[in-house]
Amino acid sequence: MSLRALVVDDSLPLRRSVMYALQRLGDVVCIEAGDGAEAIKKLAAGPYDIVLTDINMPLLDGLKLISHIRGEPQISKLPIVVITTEAAEADRARALKLGADAYLVKPVKAQEVLDAVAKLLNR
């Protein structure tokens, strides 16, 4: 059975690099969203096994997306990996308090993404 990952970032090159990294896990289907609002629409059409999201995005940022996911009973347990340029400890703490499961700081290496996803999905 394939892994379904939602990759949310307003940067197309970053989305592509994350999706390329995820392909190393094997049977992975990656769906892209350019911001949190688009991600919410795609989540409604789910199902997904994991969400990888940036924080700084137009329309709806990653923190609001995390809050939305954690507030929806049918997807509230979905693992969330934040991939962001926000390196301050306060930013990390805020994202984790809202419900993110992992927090990676850009520039991120493909192996870091793989390790975080594998850990969260017990692969």
Alpha helices per DSSP H over 33-109: 36-44, 62-71, 89-98
Give tens-digit pLDDT for 78-102: 999 999 999 999 999 999 999 999 9
How many residues are recorded in the chain?
Answer: 123
User: 16 pLDDT band (50/70/90 cuts)?
Assistant: very high
- E strand or H helix at 20, and its extent? helix 12-23
Tell me the β-bridge partners of 29: 4
pLDDT at 46: 82
As a whole number of angstroms, the distance between CA 71 and CA 50 comes to 16
Q: What φ, ψ does residue 51 adopt, rounded to 5°?
A: -125, 135
pTM for the predicted model, two decimal places: 0.95
Distance, CA of 31 to CA of 81 (rounded, Å) = 15
Residue type, 56: N
pLDDT band at 11 (very low <50, low <70, confident <90, very high): very high
Work out the pLDDT band at 60, boundaries 50, 70, 90: very high
| Mean pLDDT across 103-122 | 94
- What's the maximum distance between 2 C-alpha atoms anywhere in the chain? 38
Ordered structural domains, the chain, with CATH = 3-120 (3.40.50.2300)
pLDDT of residue 27: 87
pLDDT the model gives residue 1: 64
